[in-house]
Amino acid sequence: MLFNQMGRLDLGHTDAALYALRMRTEFNRILGVDSKMVGPQEIKQLVPSMSLREGLSYPILGALYHPPCGVIRHDAVVWGFGRGADRGGAELHPFTEVTAIDRANGRVTGVQTTRGFVGAEIVLNATAGWSSEVARLAGVDLPITTHPLQAMVTEPLKPFLDKTISSANLHAYVYQTDRGEVVIGGGVDPYPSYSMRSALLPMEQLAGHTLEMFPCLSKVKVLRQWAGLCDMTPDYAPIMGPVDGLDGFIVSCGWGSWGFKAAPAAGKNIASLIATGETPDLIRPFRLSRFHEGKLVNERAAAPAAAIH
């Protein structure tokens, strides 16, 4: 799957940020996750190319270091899941738009598509970017806003960075691919939109924050930039499980910018729900009804991309 286990540093630029990172380190330790706090001297040893000079707008005071973290080619993973589903007997219909979700007597009966009707006792809304629009086809309102997420990649360079660097304060992450390109991403745009066109202002801000950490990139050319869509919930946590009042309609959405790495666990639990009709205990807190029950899940620290939202 083209997996590069390079390790990751989450930078702390303030006392409050360091406190939050220490809390995450302790939670990780309790859960058996390999991570630790490191200071500026160890950061310099791990990432010699990163600037720790005095006078930075956001001085680097420490970091949470997660050695097992890695980067995987997302397109390879998607094709791998697709091939596995095909071998298991699932039918995949790309480029087929769902135009309506049929209901009768308080339950779903199937979906209307641009290629005809598909009858189904269970319909899963696992879309990204348009999950609230799909839910409205079933008469369900999701507390989700959709925001563009910007990223860019530079021309290939000689290897200089073998860690993923992330900064919630700077709303930026940086890593170098095996082809030498530097991938730079940041926080979601502050305004809701379904546009996937790149915007200049977020890229300028992202470039400035990246140069704060890596001034050695000041003369490097950007090859391309792009934008994707992120579905954000009020508590930054996903919505998973059945929907009250509409039997057979299940959702797994609102994953923000971090759904890719959670997909295997989410898929396993949603599959169990579909097969047994029972909601696994692990995903019960993420039910849609939590928003009117006042039982929100605080996941604001889930990813730097959420911090600007």
pLDDT band at residue 202 using 50, 70 and 90 as cut-offs: confident
Report the pLDDT averaged over residues 182-201: 85
Whether the per-residue pLDDT at 206 is higher than 60: the answer is yes
Q: What is the pLDDT of residue 259?
A: 79
Q: What is the pLDDT of residue 189?
A: 82
The superfamily CATH assigns to domain 93-144+235-307 is FAD/NAD(P)-binding domain (3.50.50.60)
* Most confident of the following: 54-63, 91-100, 184-193, 202-211: 91-100
Going by CATH, does the domain composed of 3-73+145-232 fall within 3.40.50.970?
no
Whether the per-residue pLDDT at 299 is higher than 80: the answer is no
Return the domain boundaries, the chain.
3-73+145-232, 93-144+235-307
Rg (CA), the chain: 21
Q: What is the pLDDT of residue 122?
A: 98
pLDDT band at residue 301 using 50, 70 and 90 as cut-offs: low
pLDDT digits 0-9 by tens, 89-117: 999 999 999 999 999 999 999 999 999 99
pLDDT digits 0-9 by tens, 7-41: 999 999 999 999 999 999 999 999 999 999 999 99
Chain-wide mean pLDDT for the chain? Answer: 92
Checking DSSP bridges between strand 172-176 and strand 246-253, what pairing results, if any? unpaired
Q: What is the pLDDT of residue 300?
A: 60
Q: What is the pTM (predicted TM-score) of this model?
A: 0.88
Q: 155: which residues sit within 8 A by CB, 6+ positions away?
A: 181, 220, 221, 222, 223
Q: What is the pLDDT of residue 302?
A: 60
**Using an 8 Å Cβ cutoff, are 145 and 254 in contact?**
no
pLDDT digits 0-9 by tens, 216-274: 999 999 999 998 899 999 998 999 999 999 999 999 999 988 878 889 999 999 999 99
